[in-house]
Amino acid sequence: MNKDLLRTGDLSLTLKYPTERDTGGYICTIYRDKDILRQKVALQVKEPFPSWAKTLLILMILLVVSGGLLCHFWHCFMSVYKVEVDLGVESVQMPCKTLVNFLKDPKVEWKDRMNRKVHVYQNDSEHHDEQDQIYNNRTKMKRNLLKPGDFSLTLKYPTDGDTNTYTCSVYSKKGKESIKKEVELRVRGFNSLGPKSLYWITGDQTTFFYLCWAG
C-alpha cells in the first residue's frame, strides 16, 4: 500500500504476480471511530495463453523435434537400406552412416554382391585404381567424412544394370571390420518394350547408349 496514504487518502493495494487463482472479489474496509467504510473490488486475471494450450504446443514441438531426430538417426541404426531411383537421374546416394564416429584413419570399402570393388577410401584419399572398371569415374565420397561419421557413396549415372546389393565396410587402422551396412539399390528402368540402357567405359569417361527394339 501507499505509505503516504493518510495524506493522499489512497488506500489502494498492489498485488504482485497475479494468477488465475487470484480472480475473485476483494473488500477494502476502513474503520474510523464508529464509522465504517467498505468498498468492493472485483478482480479478474486473464491468462494471455491458456495452460492447456501451452501444454499442447509443447507436446507438438516435442513430437516434431523427436520425429525429425528419429528420421535423422534412422540411417545410423539401420543395417540394410533400400534405395530406389528412376533411370536417367544424374546420381544416387547410397547411405552408410554411424551415430558416433570413433575411428581414426579408417578404410572404407564398398563392394557389390559379386564382390567387385565399387569404391575404396583410405589414408584420406580415394583409390580409384582398386575399383572395378565398370565403376571407374562414377563414384565419390565426401571429403570430410570422418567428422560426421558419414561414409555414404554417390554413384553417378545409375543404370538398370546397377540394380544390386552393395556392402559398405569400414575398417579400423589395424584392419578390424568395425562397421558393415548393406544397401539394396534398385534402378527403375523402362518396360520390356522400351529402351534398355547400355554403357561402355573408354578412358576416363563413361558413355551411355540406349538400345531400342520392338516386342
**Residue 98 phi, psi (nearest 5):** -125, 150
Which whole number is the average pLDDT over 63-88? 68
- pLDDT confidence bin for 200, thresholds 50/70/90: very low
- pLDDT confidence bin for 57, thresholds 50/70/90: confident
- Determine the Cα–Cα distance for residues 171 and 111; give it in Å rounded to an integer: 14
Q: Give the residue with greater pLDDT, 9 vs 158.
A: 158
- For 122-143, the pLDDT digits (tens) are 887 888 899 999 999 999 987 6
Which whole number is the average pLDDT over 108-117? 94
Share of the chain above pLDDT 90, in %: 26
Which whole number is the average pLDDT over 19-48? 81
Cell of 94: 547410397
**177-188 and 80-86: which strand pairing?**
parallel
- Cβ contacts of residue 181 below 8 Å, gap of 6+? 78, 79, 80, 81, 95, 96, 167, 168
Give the pTM: 0.54
User: How confident is the model at residue 203, as a pLDDT?
Assistant: 46
Cβ–Cβ under 8 Å, residues 148 and 98: no
- For 13-31, the pLDDT digits (tens) are 888 888 888 888 888 888 7
- For 175-185, the pLDDT digits (tens) are 787 788 899 99
User: How confident is the model at residue 215, as a pLDDT?
Assistant: 35
- Cβ contacts of residue 36 below 8 Å, gap of 6+? 29, 30
- For 183-195, the pLDDT digits (tens) are 999 999 755 334 4
Which whole number is the average pLDDT over 54-83? 68
Cβ–Cβ under 8 Å, residues 95 and 183: yes
- pLDDT confidence bin for 110, thresholds 50/70/90: very high
Cβ–Cβ under 8 Å, residues 126 and 140: yes
Least confident of 11-15, 154-158, 202-206: 202-206
Domains and CATH numbers, the chain: 1-66 (no CATH), 79-208 (2.60.40.10)
- pLDDT confidence bin for 210, thresholds 50/70/90: very low
Mean pLDDT over each residue of the chain, to the nearest integer = 76
User: How confident is the model at residue 58, as a pLDDT?
Assistant: 82
